[in-house]
Amino acid sequence: MSDKKAKRPLVSPKTQALLDKRARAEAGGGPERLAAQKAAGKMTARERIEAMVDDDSFEEVDLLVETKSTDFGLDKKYLAADGVVTGFARVNGRPICVYSQDFSVMGGSLGLSHAMKICKVMDLAITAEVPVVGLCDSGGARIQEGVESLGGYAEIFYRNVQASGYIPQISAILGPCAGGAVYSPALTDFIFMVDGTSHMFITGPEVVKAATGETCDFESLGGADTHSRLSGVCQFVAGSESDCFRQIRELLDFLPQNCHEQPKAAMASDDPRRESEALDRISELEPKKSYKIHEVIWEIADGHRFFEVHRNFARNIVCGFIRMDGESVGVVANNPQVLSGALDIDASEKGARFINFCDAFNIPLLTLVDVPGYWPGLEQEHGGIIRRGAKLLYAFCRASVPKVTVVLRKAYGGAYDVMSSKHIRGDVNFAWPCAEIAVMGPQGAVSILYKTELAKAADPEKRRAELVREYTAKFASPFQAAKHGYVDEVIEARLTRPKVIRALRFLKGKKVVSLPKKHGNIPL
Ligand code: HXC
């Protein structure tokens, strides 16, 4: 463990030997390579840790570890700290474990000793029951160390899976990460990328060209935009490394240290009884008029603050963290401005993963429903919407954290069931007066129910309008559902925040006893 404050006027030869060894190891790949790292707009591995953790809180372990490999002349090279800085520290006053790969040392490539250093801090994190953050900047398995580096990766993967759902695991991709360097992050809970300097891929552009003939560059293959918007591999994009570390600190603040703890409550910063005229205005809009779901979330949240997860991917569903009366809450909301808020494959997978995370770490769920159904079409059916859309249903059904649901407007068909309905054990379910809870919308329902009558009608359009009015009055409301107790209360929109806070306070002691089984079989 390093002790940076140890500056004595006179040191013994043995202590001097230690200080020299330390200085050599801390110098990474040397001034030239570190300068190249900075020229590429990146911080060094050590600067990154300093920037992310609380001041003067980092304690390094294994600084003096070296590679044992002798192949390809590795025994003649000095690989400082074997290319990775590892240790423990504090973030927002709470302990975490951290590792930071050093691209200046053989491209941050992972040899066996490098892997074992990462495994050691992962084991420490599991033992101490604290989150682990990986700062990744690596060319993947160190080619010279052959199967030992592959084995090293597998040791990390195994630990990622053992730690999954036990402690939060966060990865930041801060350079070109290839091969094994992307699979460990993929097994963690959240991936951050930095716009312009982060890249993730299984094989680089040259291999892609050779294998498939496709032409691409780093950015189109695996840049932050590609992975945040198209593939959904990364949940967060930062404008700079400093911004990335600020976001990681903010995320950690919403989370508990492990699956046994509740998230740490913040000092309540907003009136829990605050009403909202803006929500009344949204609830009074014409049913076909769209609105910004973020506005609803901001109105409900403490201090109007929303920390969105996966912002650029599957924007028809919106997920993220807010605080309500100081407590951490996971929000899942349909977004009527994208695909009318319908559920498709990507939205189902995005929502399911977020719900699974919240459930694993005792973060209650608030579901805001405005959904016309599942998105139809050949592309979705052939892509497996049945199998993959079922993930969202599975995740909501399995989640045993407190679940509060508000039907804002539409809740049609199967999507009504899926979005944390009472039937799949929503604990407290509200609806706004403008909510429409039915098998389908009025136009579709009238077309099916009155097909023959409309075909024969003297004035089909006039008759259709009458039938739509009738159907709307009877079914396109929250009152049928309320009559059956499928919503617990129809509430004025302005009261949403106080009502949800009261429900969440009430549900704090919720306990669910699951069936004794090894584990369920989520449709993967
Ligand atoms: C050994 C490596 C290395 C690696 C980079 N280096 N990757 N050394 N093993 N995997 C070394 C380079 O030789 C170079 O050393 C230094 O790091 C910097 O690399 P550059 O290529 O100069 O940097 P850059 O141009 O920025 O390109 C970065 C890169 C590229 C995109 C990461 O180096 C690259 O494509 N590397 C190989 C990536 C890869 O295919 N990895 C997959 C490994 S297999 P010198 O001394 O010349 O400066 C794998 C499978 C795991 O990971 C299986 C898990 C399921």
Torsion angles phi and psi, residue 451, rounded to 5: -55, -50
Whether residue 170 is found in the same domain as residue 215? yes
Whether residue 36 is found in the same domain as residue 178? yes
Domain range spanning residue 394? 277-441+476-509
Whether residue 317 is found in the same domain as residue 420? yes
> Ligand 1: which of 72, 143, 209, 216 to mutate, judged by most atoms within 8 Å of the beta carbon?
143
Whole-number Å distance between alpha carbons of 516 and 288? 46
- The CATH number assigned to the domain holding 361 equals 3.90.226.10
Is residue 179 among the annotated active site residues?
yes
Residue 360 lies inside a defined structural domain of this protein:
yes
Atom of ligand 1 nearest to the CA of 140: 52
Atom of ligand 1 nearest to the CA of 199: 31
Whether residue 386 is found in the same domain as residue 417? yes
Whether residue 304 is found in the same domain as residue 382? yes
Cα first-last separation, the chain: 43
Measured in Å, residue 27 CA sits from the centre of ligand 1 at 20
Atom of ligand 1 nearest to the CA of 206: 35
Paired tokens of 501: 């806070």
Q: How many domains is the chain built from?
A: 2
Whether residue 30 is found in the same domain as residue 117? yes
Torsion angles phi and psi, residue 343, rounded to 5: -90, 130
Whether residue 142 is found in the same domain as residue 85? yes
Question: Averaged over 230-234, what is the pLDDT?
Answer: 96
Encode pLDDT of 467-517 as tens digits: 999 988 888 899 999 999 999 999 999 999 999 999 999 999 999 999 999
User: Is residue 109 within 8 Å of residue 141, measured between CB atoms?
Assistant: yes
Percent with pLDDT over 90 in the chain? 90
Residue 16 lies inside a defined structural domain of this protein:
no
Torsion angles phi and psi, residue 366, rounded to 5: -115, 120
Residue 358 lies inside a defined structural domain of this protein:
yes
Q: Residue with the nearest Cα to atom 27 of ligand 1?
A: 176
Measured in Å, residue 337 CA sits from the centre of ligand 1 at 42
Whether residue 247 is found in the same domain as residue 325? no
> Which of 80, 314, 415, 476 is an active site residue?
415
Residue 1 lies inside a defined structural domain of this protein:
no
Whether residue 245 is found in the same domain as residue 283? no
Measured in Å, residue 217 CA sits from the centre of ligand 1 at 16
Measured in Å, residue 201 CA sits from the centre of ligand 1 at 12
Is residue 476 among the annotated active site residues?
no
Query: pLDDT category, 7, cuts 50, 70, 90?
Result: low
Atom of ligand 1 nearest to the CA of 138: 32
Q: What is the pLDDT of residue 1?
A: 47
Is residue 414 among the annotated active site residues?
yes
* Beta strands at 236-238 and 190-194: parallel, antiparallel or unpaired: parallel
Torsion angles phi and psi, residue 84, rounded to 5: -150, 135
Share the mean pLDDT of the chain: 95
Residues lining ligand 1, judged by CB closer than 6 Å? Answer: 106-107, 109, 139-143, 150, 153, 176, 178-180, 183, 204
> Which of 278, 414, 444, 457 is an active site residue?
414
Residue 93's Cβ-count burial label (10 Å; 0-12, 13-18, 19+) is exposed
Residue 37 lies inside a defined structural domain of this protein:
yes
Q: Where are the beta strands (DSSP E) in 84-144?
A: 84-91, 94-101, 132-136
Encode pLDDT of 88-120 as tens digits: 999 999 999 999 999 999 999 999 999 999 999
Measured in Å, residue 139 CA sits from the centre of ligand 1 at 4
- Choosing from 198, 219, 254, the residue where a domain stops is 254
Residue 348 lies inside a defined structural domain of this protein:
yes
Number of other CB atoms surrounding residue 499 within 10 Å: 19
Whole-number Å distance between alpha carbons of 308 and 332? 10
Is residue 80 among the annotated active site residues?
no
Whether residue 51 is found in the same domain as residue 85? yes
Beta-carbon contacts of 293 under 8 Å, excluding residues fewer than 6 positions away, are 318, 333, 334, 335, 336, 337, 341, 368, 370
> Ligand 1: which of 101, 102, 109 to mutate, judged by most atoms within 8 Å of the beta carbon?
109
Encode pLDDT of 361-387 as tens digits: 999 999 999 999 999 999 999 999 999
Encode pLDDT of 148-170 as tens digits: 999 999 999 999 999 999 999 99
Residue 282 lies inside a defined structural domain of this protein:
yes
Whole-prediction pTM value?
0.94
Residue 465 lies inside a defined structural domain of this protein:
no
Query: pLDDT category, 3, cuts 50, 70, 90?
Result: low
Query: pLDDT category, 5, cuts 50, 70, 90?
Result: low
Q: What is the largest CA-CA distance in the chain?
A: 106
Q: Residue with the nearest Cα to atom 45 of ligand 1?
A: 106
Question: Averaged over 390-418, what is the pLDDT?
Answer: 97
Whether residue 246 is found in the same domain as residue 282? no
Whether residue 435 is found in the same domain as residue 505? yes
User: Is residue 373 within 8 Å of residue 412, measured between CB atoms?
Assistant: yes
